[in-house]
Amino acid sequence: MCARYVVRGYQHYDFVLLLSREELSFLGRRNLNTTYILWRGENIFIILGKIVNMFGKGRIRPGEYIFVVQKDRNYVRLIIGRIQNVNGSKIQINGFYIRPVGLIDRIESGYGKGRPSEVLNNPDPNNCIFMLIDRVETGMFNQEVDQAIDKTTWINEKRYFVLDGWVRENLPDMFADVLRATSDDQRLQAREILLEKMNSLYEKDLKDHLYAVARSTKIL
């Protein structure tokens, strides 16, 4: 049994690597940002960089975490959660959904051209932060999705808890209050509330991610 991996390699060229069960086990116990030397018979494979997408039965299985992009009227919604069951192309997920209503509103108003529009058309676990610095609609999700219809991406536990914490702590609304403020006083007040939230967080990964986004949006 082999799993198909797309690897971001030297100078950003992508290539496909088939890994055996033993090699999958090797990678599963280690940090995927590291350079690996994998032996297969007389061949040596050197992975220079990070595995950016994972497909096949090696990861899409009960107990793992998943990021789903699902068509939602004229746009998309995100489904993020834990896999409960896999039946062919159907995956039962327990988690939450996100509708990026703030980003949709900006685009429909003519203010979201360029990068925001690209993200809305093709979101992934890395660029979805552009959706999460504006208002969103969220709710619980416990249904099936179909891999044959919806775009599914495996995510690790750390990424899941960062995204879950981001929504749970109401950070989209807090960022929106700062970035959509119509006066200096409004912006300063909204910024103070966001900073108080940042300083009150105990989850290190979420806090680090929050600080990074705040710096990139010039709030810090």
> Which tens digit of pLDDT belongs to each residue from 152-207?
999 999 999 999 999 999 999 999 999 999 999 999 999 999 999 999 999 999 99
Domain boundaries of the chain, sorted by first residue: 2-54, 65-155, 171-216
pLDDT 10s digits, 75-115: 999 999 999 999 989 999 999 999 999 999 988 888 767 78
pLDDT at 55 over 60: no
pLDDT at 52 over 50: no
At residue 32, φ and ψ (nearest 5 deg) are -75, 0
pLDDT at 22: 53
**Are 132 and 172 within 8 A, CB to CB?**
yes
Give mean pLDDT, residues 2-31.
Answer: 44
How far apart CA 104 and CA 74 sit, in angstroms, is 10
- Model pTM greater than 0.85? no
For the chain, the first-to-last Cα distance in angstroms comes to 49
- Closest by Cα among 65, 60, 62, 54 to 27: 54
Q: What is the mean pLDDT of residues 39-58?
A: 37
pLDDT at 63 over 70: yes
User: How many helices (H) does the chain have, and how many strands (E)?
Assistant: 7, 10
Confidence of residue 16 (pLDDT cuts 50, 70, 90): very low
Distance CA 37, CA 101 (A): 45
pLDDT beyond 70 at 142: yes
**Rounded CA separation 114/55 (Å):** 29
d(CA 134, CA 179): 8
Q: Calculate what percentage of the chain has a pLDDT beyond 70.
A: 73
Q: How many whole angstroms separate alpha carbon 106 and alpha carbon 172?
A: 14
What DSSP element (H or E) covers 26?
helix 21-28
Name residue 146's beta-bridge partners: 90
